[in-house]
Each structure stands twice: as structure tokens, then as C-alpha cells.
Amino acid sequence: MRPDILNSYFAPITGLPGIGPKLAKSFNRLLGREDGARVLDLLLHLPASTIDRRARPTLAEVVPDTVVTLEIHVDRHAPTPPGSRAPYRVYAHDATGDIVLAFFKADRSWMERLLPVGETRWISGTVTLYDGMLQMTHPDRVVDAAGLAKLPPIEPVYPLVEGLGHGHVRRAVEAALAHTGDLPEWQGGEPTYGFHAALAKVHQPHDSQDAAPEGPAWRRLAYDELLAGQLALALVRARTTRQVGRPSLGDGRLTRAILAALPFSLTGSQNEALAAIRADLASNDRMLRLLQGDVGSGKTVVALLAAGTVIEAGRQAALMAPTEILARQHMKTIAPLAQAAGLTVALLTGREKGRARDALLAALAAGEVDLVIGTHALFQEGVRFDDLALAIVDEQHRFGVHQRLALASKGEAVDVLVMTATPIPRTLVLTYFGDMDSSELREKPAGRKPIDTRAIPSDRIDDVVARLGVALAEGRRAYWICPLVEESETSDLAAAEARFAELAMHFGDKVGLVHGKMKGAGKDAAMAAFAAGQTQLLVATTVVEVGVDVPEASIIVIEHAERFGLAQLHQLRGRVGRGDAASTCLLLYRRPLGEIARQRLEALRQSEDGFFLAEEDLRLRGEGDVLGTRQSGFPGFRLARLDVHGDLLTRAREEAADVVRNDSDLVGERGAALRVLLHIFERDVAVKLLSAG
Ligand code: ADP
Ligand code: MG
């Protein structure tokens, strides 16, 4: 399937010189490919910044605290005296002055080889002024004339993981560049650099612009990524609408029964969304619709009623959730309503195993199950439907086009409804969903009370705990969300466990703990105990973020709120304010608070409107997030960054539309090049779709 020209790009990195099994493991971690990183992954791992080593002043000209490369003559060594903690010093000079090089824990014979007395060496690093003397502590580079010739004038700095140094990454990238070659041009315009040349520019910059996200090389690559995304969407869209849908005409029998079983009536926007969905289902075109709704806006009921409509027509529906907790919760909400309406629901996650699973699969294939709720497990092979009419994907940003298609391919001309937990700003809707139809639940169910949101510095945590004690004594229920540590799940976990232990000292067995590393049953038990009120305070990592619904919970404390994105905070806050009680959200932050973080917390205090907050989030990220690239990237994209490359999106979208208009099967020469592009950015599902016809 994959064009041969890409073989060197998709070869495992272990084939590169110098990468043995141990390094490979670290690289896999660095590149987020535990199953084995490929050369391409390495090439797409772009530098976070650069060090400019081009400044070559004399010692008299040196500006302290800047990075310089100096030509020096080595005068003498002053090794660390035994028992002292002083550094090993090397004295050197040039025609204009003197400098001291300082090394801690240095080995004498190694030092004498590195900086032989009487010789000339070039050193690169940051010079400081110490006791009136120029000093360089641990030069980054010490080279002789031959080494100098090879010293990159601008050195890329990469994000790293434990076990890897910059040297490892640079050498591996160098090998990867040598190992791969030019590819046919897929861009329609005339880019300054070809794909491979652009990669080489960014990884081996000669100018600081070369490796900057704003520079032409990186922009080319970002455009490629955006184009691949837009093209995949356009292709999917072209196919899905070209395939004639199969109208599902319900008689209203089940949906009426479901409505009758609900303890409330639908909001105006729920009714509107439902009408739009029903019209899609009844029409001859395939449905591809986005249901956007703020937390608690009542998407689940809309989903169930949509399912009811196709089931009335004698067909089946599937509802896919991103996590097991959420799938089970959907099941819990839906089961009683389904029972009241007389439709059969089943749950399928990774945890359904053995005989029960086989029986379930058989029932599904025989059409005895009307609605199946589950996780990724739903689109595995072996899951067959008698007649799947509607795939509902509770997306929450976590599934890509890929999974949506995989689920939709389980039936014939399946209608697709994608639900998003947090409203998505318009530009991002385009990025992820192309020109999908969209329904928005802007109206909240009646009777919701506003959530009292406050930002509190973390040094007042004792007050918070004391007040929490009062609330728990009154029988209230609360979440305590633990900090998100970017680097690793294990430290998230340690933080949550430590907080749990501490809160348990105050509140004993009223406290529960749930986190992502817990086994399914343990997680369920913790959630169930909290839902039943056996525990009143649930310490959690962000696993509760997505959709967890315990209406009795009326307090949420979010620790290190400054580390979360706005959308995520809003999503977390949405865990409360679901019941009759007035709710409180306490955002604990650590001082000093950065400007962007301050604005984020302020926005949250001011508004509960997810549509507004989504736009704010985008605006704040656009202004450059201090947290760096991770936060400012388009989620799900590797190179393209919203703040820097947002302007390329419309162009990519137009180019993609153009391609699909002129060569929707990608058969021409340019079409072939574009297929290569789709593979590079793993949008090849779209290619599969092409061959499926
Ligand atoms: P979300 O959009 O976040 O998935 P849910 O579907 O979980 O929201 O709904 C949140 C809560 O609101 C649920 O307890 C649900 O039963 C309730 N709900 C949904 N629609 C209405 C309505 N029209 N009136 C009152 N409550 C509703
Ligand atoms: Mg939901």
C-alpha cells in the first residue's frame, strides 16, 4: 500500500548507525512510539530552540552571559586539591586577555587530553564574569581545528527524555537525513525548499531563521501537515457524501417511549439538534454531523433519541466513548431509559471477555442487540453488526478521522454523529472536521445553578482543607483534582497518591482515590463508592475530566490550576453544578502566576459559557503560551502550531478542495505525490478509502 519511495522513511530507527537496543528504547519513548520508532518519527522531531555559536569574539570583546566560541591557548592546569570541592581549573589566554575554564568532578588525565598545555583549542559556551575574571564553566564544546570545522554554527536543541543527550539526537537525525532522500513535490505552489531539504534546514540550521517555526523551512513542513489533514478530510467527505445513504425512517414509537421515561422535557436546542439529526437520518445522503454541546448540555439524551430513531427502522446503533469509565457511565444512564422503551442495549469494552463477550458478539451480529455502547473495542475485528445504521462517536478530541471511519465501516452507508465535550472554535472545527454539518446545544437544561468559581493561591491550602471539612460534615461531595505533571504519568500518580494520603489523615475513610493507572475494577469501585456517597471526597487525576456524572458532587478543587488549559479547566469544572445544590469550584494556583495563566483563570471566573471560553482559549494560546510548544500546537499535529501557522490553514483547506475537485482519486502525477504526503502524516486511512472505491 505504502509507496516504496517511503521505505527509508518508515524503516525502524534501529537500522541507523549507532542506535542499539538501549538507545532505541529511549528514542521510542522520546518519539512516543513504544512499538518502535521509525526514521520518519525522528525527522519530524523538530528542535525546540537553537544555540547560536557564531559569535567569535576575542577575550577583550566578550560580552558576559552570552554564548561564544573562543580560540584560546592553554597555559596551565590547576587540578582540584584532594578533599576540596573546588573545580578543576584550566588557565588560558588569547592576544587580548585571559580566561579560566572550570570543571567540576573532572578527571585529570581526561582533562589533560582535552586541553593539552601549549596547544590551541576552540571552546564554545557561556562566559561569565567571576571575581573580575572571565570564566567558562563546563564549556559545551572543546574542539581542535578539525573539530572546529565540523562544529555546527547554529546548534539545534531538542526536547529530550532521560537516557538521551543532544548529541544522541543530533547524530541520529544526521544519519536519518543521510538515509532518506528527496520526495516528489506535492505542493501546488513553488515552495522555497522541498520536503527533505526543509527537514535538513530545520535540523541543521545555518541561520537562526532556519530552525524557527516562523522560518520558511518549518512553515513548509507545517503547511504539509495541514494540507495532509485537510486533504484527508476532503477525501473522506467526498466519499461519504457520494455514497448514497440508506434512509432510516422511524415511526416515533421508541423515541416517544424514551421521552416519556425522561424526568424532564428537552430544551429548545436539544429539540432543534434532534430534528436536524432525524432529517439527516431520513434523507438519502449519508449523515456526517457534529453535535457540539457544553458540559452538561445534555448530549447523551440526544444521542439516545437518535439511536432510537434508527432502531425504530429495524436497524442498529453504536455509541463509542473515549474511556471505559465514560462508556460504563453512558450505559448506566441509558440502560433504564432503554428498558422503559423496550430496546436492547449492551456494553462492549476491553474488559468484556470470554464467553460473555462471545455471546454478546453473536447477539450483535444476529441483530438481537439494538444499541451497543463501548470503547475502542467496538471497531476491532470480530465485531460485526447485523445492520449498523448509526455510529455515534463521543469524540472529546481523542478519536481521529481514523477511528470514526473504522467504526463507520462496520456497516453499509453508516450515518455518523460526532459529539464533542467542549465546544470547538470555528477555525478548529475546520481543522478537525472539515465541513461537517454542525448542531450546537447552546441552551443549558433548566434549573442549573451558576457555579461559584474562585482562584486561591496554594499557600492557603489549609483554609481550603478546613472549609472542605465543614462541607463534608454537611454531607456534601467533592472532587479533588491533582496536578498535571507534563513529563510523566508516574509523577502524576505520585502526586495524587500523596494528596490522597494527606487528605485521608484529615477525613479518614470519607476519601477515595481514582487514577488512570488503576485497573478497571478498582476504578469502577472507586467511582461507584463516590457515586453512592460511601466516599465523599474523591481525589483524582484528570481521568474524571471526561464526562463523569455524579450529580451530588457540588465542590471541585483543582490543584495547580495554572497548569491546565482553559478548555480542560472548564471541562473539569463541569463535573459539578449537575445537581440541585449550589456548586463551588476552587482553582488552587501556585504563585507567581504568569500573565496568560492569570487571564485564563479570570476568564473561567467570569464565564461558564463553553463557546465563549473556547474562543478565549484560542485567543490566549494565540498570544503565545508560556508553557511552550506543547500547549500552543494544534492538538493532534506534530509540526503545525496554531500561534505561528494558523494563517496557513485556510490555504491548505483551499488547496485540498482544489485537489479533490480536479483529481478526486489521486491518480495523476501530483495525485501520486499527494498520496506520499498522506502517508507521511499518517492520514493514509484516506488513501485506503480511495482504493476501496
Ligand atoms: P453532556 O452534554 O455533558 O454529555 P449529559 O448528557 O451527561 O451532558 O447531561 C447532563 C445531565 O443533564 C444529565 O444528568 C441529564 O440527565 C440531564 N439533562 C439532559 N437534558 C436535560 C433537560 N432537557 N432538562 C434537564 N436535565 C437534562
Ligand atoms: Mg456526555
pLDDT at 320: 92
Q: Which residue has the higher pLDDT, 412 or 511?
A: 511
Q: What is the mean pLDDT of residues 368-380?
A: 91
pLDDT at 487: 44
Say if CB 649 and CB 431 are below 8 A apart.
Answer: yes
Say if CB 388 and CB 414 are below 8 A apart.
Answer: yes
pLDDT at 225: 93
Cα–ligand 2 centroid distance for 429 (angstroms): 19
pLDDT at 486: 44
Q: How does pLDDT run across 297-343, given as a tens digit for each residue? A: 899 999 999 999 999 999 999 999 888 888 998 999 999 999 999 99
pLDDT at 627: 29
Cα–ligand 1 centroid distance for 295 (angstroms): 9
Cα–ligand 1 centroid distance for 283 (angstroms): 28
Residue nearest to atom 17 of ligand 1 (CA): 298
What is the percentage of the chain residues whose pLDDT exceeds 70? 90
Cα 605 to Cα 618: distance, rounded to the nearest angstrom = 17
Mutate to test the pocket of ligand 1, among 264, 266, 442, 571 (most ligand atoms within 8 A of CB): 264
pLDDT at 491: 60
Residue 323 domain boundaries? 253-441
Asked if 460 and 355 sit in the same domain, the reply is: no
Of 607, 642, 671, at which residue does a domain stop? 607
Asked if 364 and 413 sit in the same domain, the reply is: yes
Cell numbers of 116, please?
593539552
Q: Determine, yes or no, domain membership for 566.
A: yes
Instruction: Report the CATH number that the domain containing residue 406 is assigned in CATH.
Output: 3.40.50.300
- Calculate the alpha carbon distances from 443 to 102, 440, 480, 607, 611 in Å: 66, 9, 28, 14, 11
Asked if 286 and 374 sit in the same domain, the reply is: yes
pLDDT at 137: 94
Cα–ligand 1 centroid distance for 550 (angstroms): 12
Q: How does pLDDT run across 497-529, given as a tens digit for each residue? A: 889 999 999 999 999 998 877 877 888 889 889
Asked if 195 and 334 sit in the same domain, the reply is: no
Q: What is the mean pLDDT of residues 17-27?
A: 92
Of 382, 417, 441, at which residue does a domain stop? 441
Confidence of residue 294 (pLDDT cuts 50, 70, 90): confident
Least confident of 147-161, 220-234, 351-365, 514-528: 514-528
Which ligand is the nearest neighbour of the Cα of 571? 1
Asked if 430 and 487 sit in the same domain, the reply is: no
What is the percentage of the chain residues whose pLDDT exceeds 90? 56
Phi, psi of 132 (to 5 degrees): 75, 0
Instruction: Report the CATH number that the domain containing residue 132 is assigned in CATH.
Output: 2.40.50.140
Say if CB 246 and CB 413 are below 8 A apart.
Answer: yes
pLDDT at 546: 54
Q: What is the mean pLDDT of residues 365-376?
A: 95
Q: Determine, yes or no, domain membership for 528.
A: yes
Which ligand is the nearest neighbour of the Cα of 334? 1
Q: How does pLDDT run across 646-682, given as a tens digit for each residue? A: 788 889 989 999 999 999 899 989 999 999 999 999 8
Scanning 409-478, the segments in alpha helix (DSSP H) are 426-433, 461-473
pLDDT at 433: 65
The single residue listed with the C-alpha cell 507567581 is 592
Of 441, 473, 490, at which residue does a domain stop? 441
- Tally the domains of the chain: 4
Residue nearest to atom 4 of ligand 1 (CA): 299
pLDDT at 353: 86
Q: How does pLDDT run across 530-553, given as a tens digit for each residue? A: 999 999 999 998 766 555 678 899
Cell numbers of 577, please?
453544578
Q: How does pLDDT run across 614-631, given as a tens digit for each residue? A: 778 777 765 333 223 333
pLDDT at 632: 38
Which ligand is the nearest neighbour of the Cα of 578? 1
Asked if 585 and 514 sit in the same domain, the reply is: yes
Average pLDDT, the chain: 87
Assessment of whether the complete model's pTM goes beyond 0.75:
no
Confidence of residue 404 (pLDDT cuts 50, 70, 90): low
pLDDT higher than threshold 50 for residue 81: yes
CA atoms within 13 Å, Cβ hemisphere of 323: 20
The single residue listed with the C-alpha cell 530545520 is 202
Asked if 30 and 176 sit in the same domain, the reply is: yes
Q: What is the mean pLDDT of residues 585-596?
A: 90
Q: How does pLDDT run across 350-370, given as a tens digit for each residue? A: 888 899 999 999 999 999 999
Asked if 350 and 489 sit in the same domain, the reply is: no
Cα–ligand 1 centroid distance for 441 (angstroms): 11
- b/e map 304-338, b = 16+ CB within 10 Å: bbbbbbbbbbebbbbbbbbbbbbbbbbbeebeebb
